[in-house]
Copies of this chain bind each other. A is one copy, B any other.
Amino acid sequence: MNKPSRRSRGTTTIEDVARAAGVSAMTVSRVINGGQNVRESTRNAVLEAVKKLNYSPNTAARSLAAGEATHIGMLYANPSAAYLSQFLIGALHAARRAGCHLVIESCESEDADEQAEVTRRFATSDVEGVVLPPPLSESQPIIAELAAIGIPVVTVAMGTPAEDSLNVRIDDYAAAAEMTRYLLSLGHRSIGFIKGHPNHIASHDRARGFAAALREYGLDPDEAPIEQGYFTYRSGLAASERLLSRPKPPSAIFASNDDMAAAAISVAHRRGLTVPGDLSVVGFDDTSLATTVWPELTTVRQPISAMAEAALELLLSDLRSRRSGAARHSAERVLEHELIVRESSSAPGALWVGRSRRSRTAPVHTADVG
């Protein structure tokens, strides 16, 4: 009878698995992590024991013993709440799998000194790497400060990643071109475009994609109605007003994100235009806002959660290779986007015909009421 351990919490440990498989704990450890130099038969025996005992390693013990990264920082700034929550969920999943903690800090200021100040908090904390979702992924002060401190970074949706950096993004150019082609194929020939914040490279990529698709259809991008926006709902209101106040208003509006698209719908409604009857409106991102507004937005889906997961994985593998002294390598992962067609877009031409009074009131959806 061996004396009972200090606290027997009934959890199965690596020792239990080792006993069940008839090997040492070390071998079990090897099988679980990578598993180099283990005979096929032993590996199977171990895996079987793991499954039978429903064993899952204790992350605390693992990171303690391995001296691995336990804290990953994340610095965010007021993206849309929908984007942030999606991103956090993805990041949390990846963090859980890796057994590391997510340390989040917010940084709303645009001031370089303040940004550096917030960044330095990570230095005194024990974070070993930082994830930078947009729009902070484009912030030079933060990236520079992190480099000075010596903390590895992975950026998300960064347009022009540096040489030895890690980045995750989608192909904004291709996505914007696809969306534009879709509107063109519907028959639209005058498409208003609302640009994103000029500080973000992604904004320019989307604008270039828009222009490229126009050219494919023999249209001159320079004559297209384009207005500057800043990714905010408010800026979308202003840009839409300008677009619809033009002598020859467009039959469709392509906004660089969902917030501005939602604003476009609002402006259209206030002007007595139906969507999509009188005006098609499409967005970008597919945040929850896209399905909140009425009519629901046709938009481009970014796999936000997956991007967060990919970012964390990239960072952690980089951290691992740094520890083992492997050569530094830059890495970029481009994830798939998807065109989501909903109710806010249709063929043009109903512009004058469909303008009935009735259409200016919201329909009562029975699904909501009953």
Contact = CB atoms under 8 A, between A and B. Distances in A.
B67 A365 contact: no
A113 interface: no
Contacts of A293: 233
A195 to B, nearest CB: 12
A64 B60 contact: yes
A40 interface: no
A327 to B, nearest CB: 21
B271 A361 contact: yes
Interface size class of A (residues with CB under 8 A): 35 or more
Interface of chain A, main secondary structure? helix
Nearest to A292: B233
B61 A64 contact: yes
A234 B103 contact: no
Contact of A11 (B86, B126, B288): B126
Given A63-B60, A67-B7, A86-B81, A292 B362 contact: no
Given A81-B81, A84-B85, A294-B237, A101 B7 contact: no
B81 A85 contact: yes
Interface string A88-107: 11001101100101111010
Contacts of A361: 241, 267, 270-271
Interface of A: 7, 9, 11, 54, 56, 58-61, 63-64, 67, 70, 80-82, 84-86, 88-89, 92-93, 95-96, 99, 101-104, 106, 124-126, 228, 230, 232-235, 237-238, 240-242, 259, 266-267, 269-271, 287-289, 292-294, 360-362, 364-365, 367-369
6 contacts: A95-B101, A230-B368, A237-B294, A242-B364, A269-B269, A270-B360
Given A95-B101, A96-B103, 5 more contacts: A60-B60, A88-B88, A89-B104, A259-B292, A271-B361
